[in-house]
Structure 1
Amino acid sequence: MITTKITIENYLAEYLIGKYGTPDSKVVRLPSDLDLYHFVYDLLQKRPAGCPVDSGNLELVLPERREAHLPGGKPLATYNYIGERGAKILSRKINTMMRAELHDLFDENKHVYGIDYINSAWYFLRKYCIESLSVEALLKDYQRWRRKMRRKTSVREYKHR
């Protein structure tokens, strides 16, 4: 098992650790059927010469793929580094994944079960042990997204007689 560490926003690291981490350690092992698993594999590159030891708030188990043993594949002994640019790209992907799950949870709880948004936000934070975000931040993000996605159609102006 080869791991690497990257630095991303704290709430995204907490989300991934809460969703895919193991209870006894903070190491994240992504399932092989997840798009993020393949995304991480594509971002792997050779460690630059003189690069310091990995540091960061998220430790990922690197994906081992069958193609690594074929000619042209990436052996993890050599390709075991995610650079700063790769960490930013991965951070955006994780952020999109987290927000999609959050918005889906809010909609389902409100319209199917009748649960308030604030209770859904508390549930989401407790489920993934996220301490870096507040309930108000999640609610504000959802309201912005809902306003942007569900714009009302413009209504024709009526002239008064």
Structure 2
Amino acid sequence: MSVLRVITCSTLLAVLAGNAQVASAVEILRWERLPLAIPLRINQERIVFVDQNVRVGLPRSLTEKLRVQSTGGAIYLFAKEAIEPTRLQLQNAKTGEIILVDIAATEAPADQTALEPVKIVDGETSSARYGGAATARSGKPSTASPEETSRSKVED
């Protein structure tokens, strides 16, 4: 009976190993109002997940060099040839908000695997509020008055 168990267990493991899928990583980029660098490889598609419907604005110089498809919050970029560093604008279809993306396409090294997909998420940006307390990155209101924060204190 123990021989039968060993055969059954080894068969089960072989079946499970055959059905195992390789998980791919996703590179997370935080949009904090600074352009995001997304490198591309020639003749390799790179997917950018934005989780919102966006329109992609690109210079005319890229129309023959770069295939761009945008659907359902995913952007598919395929470089047909080398591309010098160039800025793209991703515009939210609902709000009009723009995310800046810098791309460049180079030849892939022979031993390099395809680049992983990219996901752009909202970062923690702080903005000054006119007429109210500024909020720091921690989300806690500042207790200093505007005069104290805008000039340095001199100690005696």
**TM-score with structure 2 length normalisation?**
0.29
Q: Larger C-alpha radius of gyration, 1 or 2?
A: 2
**TM-score with structure 1 length normalisation?**
0.28
Identify the structure with the greater strand proportion. 2
Which protein has greater RCO, CA pairs closer than 8 Å, 6+ apart? 1
